Amino acid sequence: MAARRARGPLQRVRRRSRELRERVEALREECAAPGPGQREALSLRCMQLKKLVDENTNALRDLKKADEPAPVGNYNQRKEEEEKLLLKLSQQLQKLVLALDQDNTTKKSSVDKHHQKGPQSEDENEEEDESEDEESSEEKDSEEAEDDDDDDKLLDDPNVKECIAVGNFDAQQEGDLTFTKGEILFIHDKKADGWWVAENSRGERGLVPRTYLAVHKEDDESPEQSEEQVEVVDETADGTEIKKRTDSHWSALRRAIRENDAVEVLTTIGAVPAGFRLSTLFQLLEEGNQFRASHFLQPELTPSQLAFKDLVWDAEKDTISPRPTRVSLIVTLCGCKMIPLPGVSIQVLSRHVRFCLFDGNRVLSNIHTVRATWQPKNPQTWSFSPKVTGILPSLLDGDCFVRSNSLAADIGLLFELGIAYIRNSTGERGELSCGWAFLKLFTSNGMPVPAKMYELPLNGGTPCERGVEVDPSISRRAGSGVLHQFMALKKQPVLLLKLRSLSVQSKDILYFLPETLIGSMCYSHLLLFYRQILGDALLKDRASLQSTDLICNPILATFPQLVDQPDLMDALRSAWADRERTLKRSEKRDAEFLKSLFVLVYHDSVFPLLHSTLLPPYKWAEEESEALRWKVIADFLKKSREHDGALQYLLAAENTHTAFDISELAYDFLGEARDDSSV
């Protein structure tokens, strides 16, 4: 006969909880009809049993899924349900202790009054008083025992929004809401761990502990009765242990309180799943140029500020030196599956993936964006690099290069799926995160992770949170069986990508780029031209390396602006591809000839567009603006090809350009160069 399998840690704790629940039920029945002189003993038993419940609760919190000897389906949900049960038992025992102590106090005061009377009257009324006390206490205890479950259920009811504070609470840390006893609070979000988002009458919002709240009842009681009840529960609140919040929960609520009001509204009306948040990477991009490619494209100074760190001249080859980096690879975004759909109350303007280098605390590179495509028949599946006529727009290109020389041990790629949206009712615009994933690039022993296909499950919330699901309803609907859990796992959103090592041809281009940069492979050869022209201007053609004079070079002054405007980069790619097709094989091998030709193509294509009044400013995820910009760009490129240059277009009376100062064409390398400690 096979030996019986040993119980796991969670199973043992749950078994202990069932035993404690049975003991609590039996004790409640005894407390409902206590015999003479039994109240103190019952109170002592309640406190001892509460201590055992608290010990089991602490043991439950220390459990980890990795400690289980065998896989446990829906582990986190079972653990959370068990913790709720233990918390409820602890509260019931605390209330029993208070009720027993209050009855003892009432009985002692009545005994003192009896002693003041004569012995004869005392003897006559002794039996009558005892019977009345016992009857009243039995009725009171039984009513409390019956109402315990009802009160808890009513308080936890998501439809009950107004609560009354039953005790004074002072904020423990930033984000908590201070309140006083008797204050009415409006509950916005009832979290499972007992820390709820509440708002007071002054509009202040923060976290409050559930144990300090009771359901607000306006019509039930007179003010005097209400005061008595509040006083009793106040003692309960002060005596009940407040459960510690977890870091992930606190991070989620901190963001919700500070800046996620719009997302909370959308979640409440069912427009987006509960795991959606404001896009973290989009907010970083909106703060300035620090995380844009144009910033990282500039040369980086050494700590001494006397030379360039990633731009070195090779006198033998008469060009800049190639520089391999610790991270040099190609990331191919393949697709996204099972991405939750937003509701009909918002219109999606763009679906995209933003990613960057991240070490767990800081963003270490520029934030690169790739727009996804999708089919109306299957909107939950995103794809990249679609087949198009002509050149593939760089914004849709899923092949991206990644370079970094950071020595951070935990460096990896942070991916954030996002949607740009507009609310149909208000016209409000914004960008939401549909989930995020992190791929560490080095193993624990410092070796690079293998170049292969990866399927990354998406997390909800923000990159600062842990344990948040993109769509919690998927797990709630799943059963507890292994098959149900497997089916639920198949419905979880994932990101598919492939890491590729560099080919010889890719190394010949990427090794000349800045040490830290993420970009599209489709325009990497254009970045190479820019870097070669930059090296000539800063290292080869300067009369003195100590000179800090401005360098008159329109390409160096304006090219970084193009990197942040994908449609202009596509215009330059198209113009260069047209010119490159006309070159002879010998001309393609001449580096100096190619550089000079690139300068001509640049001046005949994108440089006039940068100052054209017909080209509207670049705006992210605005369809009308994008369409108008591309029409202006396409018309200009067509006329430039027909007239073999942009001169006739520039001299035409119908085409106007913004006035500019000569300083706008000068390159100030001291003002543009990146400081080594800037990020």
Strand partners, 189: 197
pLDDT in tens, 163-186: 888 888 888 777 788 888 889 998
C-alpha span between 563 and 568 (Å, rounded) = 8
Q: Which phi and psi (to 5°) does residue 301 adopt?
A: -85, 150
| Confidence check: pLDDT of 209 > 60 | yes
Global pTM exceeds 0.85:
no
From the list 338, 340, 341, 280, the residue with the least C-alpha distance to 465 is: 280
Collapse the DSSP code of 657 into the 3-class scheme (helix H, G, I; strand E, B; otherwise coil) and give the result: strand
Who wins on pLDDT, 551 or 109? 551
Beta strands in 501-542 (DSSP E): 517-520
Average pLDDT, the chain: 81
278 token code pair = 């404001």
Alpha-carbon distance 440 to 360, whole Å?
A: 10
For the chain, what percent of residues have pLDDT higher than 90?
A: 36
Least confident interval from 66-70, 288-292, 384-388, 447-451: 66-70
Residue 511 has pLDDT above 60, yes or no: yes
Structure tokens at 538: 């800063």
Contact 596, 603 (CB under 8 A): no
Region of poorest pLDDT, from 124-128, 525-529, 589-593: 124-128
Q: Of 241 and 438, which is predicted with more confidence?
A: 438
Q: pLDDT class for 448, splitting at 50, 70, 90?
A: very high
In 10 A of CB 479, how many CB atoms? 12
Residue type, 337: K
Contact criterion met (CB below 8 Å) for 612 and 583: no
Q: Identify which of 149-153, 352-356, 533-537 has the greatest average pLDDT.
A: 352-356
Residue 364 is predicted with a pLDDT of 95
pLDDT of residue 157: 80
Give the C-alpha separation, 59 to 160, whole Å. Answer: 32
